[in-house]
Amino acid sequence: MNCITFDVFTQEQVKEINKKIKSNLAHKQPQKQAAQNVNKRGDFTYVPVTPLIDLLYPFLNNCQQLNTDNFGYDIYWHFHLEAFAYNVYEESGEYGWHIDSLAEKDKPDMKLTCLLNLSEELYEGGEFSVVSLDEDIPFASGMGMVFTSMMAHKVAPVTKGKRTTLTYWAQGPSWR
């Protein structure tokens, strides 16, 4: 299973989530944590998990169920993370081909990348692609997406509007 998308939130719920996020923004993502030697243009911020956990329960629950039904990875689902990544791509914003992984020793391995589209307005460009598929993956506002973190993927440049996503990386014990 390469990449799975699912409907999870209405536009009204997306606005409520964004409002909560904007009142709890933590800090900018350090550049050293970004994929190296890759075009990455946008506003990338961390937001604490705790104030969002109830609002995001339907999304996180879907991610857990999709792992059980389709991937079967050994994942720590106790939401030990301190923060989600909040990614805003405005015109010309993009993130070139990369994989999601932790470069730190003695840390759990990233197993699944779980994305939530929180765009409040229509945008053009910003298509999501994975290396193993020949077509872009539809990913509209209010939709979630789950895929193996080690699969190369990218966000094409946004040509009009603003594309907003939230990322949760599901981690677990080292791959065996």
Domain CATH code at residue 70? 2.60.120.620
User: Is residue 91 one of the residues assigned to a domain?
Assistant: yes
User: Is residue 151 one of the residues assigned to a domain?
Assistant: yes
User: Is residue 113 one of the residues assigned to a domain?
Assistant: yes
Highest mean pLDDT, choosing among 8-12, 22-26, 77-81: 8-12
Count of structural domains within the chain: 1
The reported pTM is 0.90
User: Is residue 92 one of the residues assigned to a domain?
Assistant: yes
User: Is residue 139 one of the residues assigned to a domain?
Assistant: no
The reported pLDDT for the residue numbered 101 is 80
Residue 25's pLDDT band (boundaries 50, 70, 90)?
A: confident
Burial (CB count <10 Å: 0-12, 13-18, 19+), residue 81: middle
User: Is residue 167 one of the residues assigned to a domain?
Assistant: yes
User: Is residue 130 one of the residues assigned to a domain?
Assistant: no
Range of the domain at 20: 3-28+38-120+144-172
User: Is residue 159 one of the residues assigned to a domain?
Assistant: yes
The reported pLDDT for the residue numbered 30 is 56
Please give the mean pLDDT across all residues of the chain: 88
pLDDT, tens only, 82-136: 789 999 999 999 999 999 886 666 667 889 999 999 999 999 999 999 988 878 8
How many distinct helices (H) and strands (E) make up the chain? Answer: 2, 13
Q: Which residues, at least 6 apart from 107, have a Cβ–Cβ distance to it below 8 Å?
A: 171
SS3 sequence of 9-72: CCHHHHHHHHHHHHCCCCEECCHHHCCCCCCEECEEEEEECHHHHHHHHHHHHHHHHHHHHHHC
Residue 76's pLDDT band (boundaries 50, 70, 90)?
A: confident
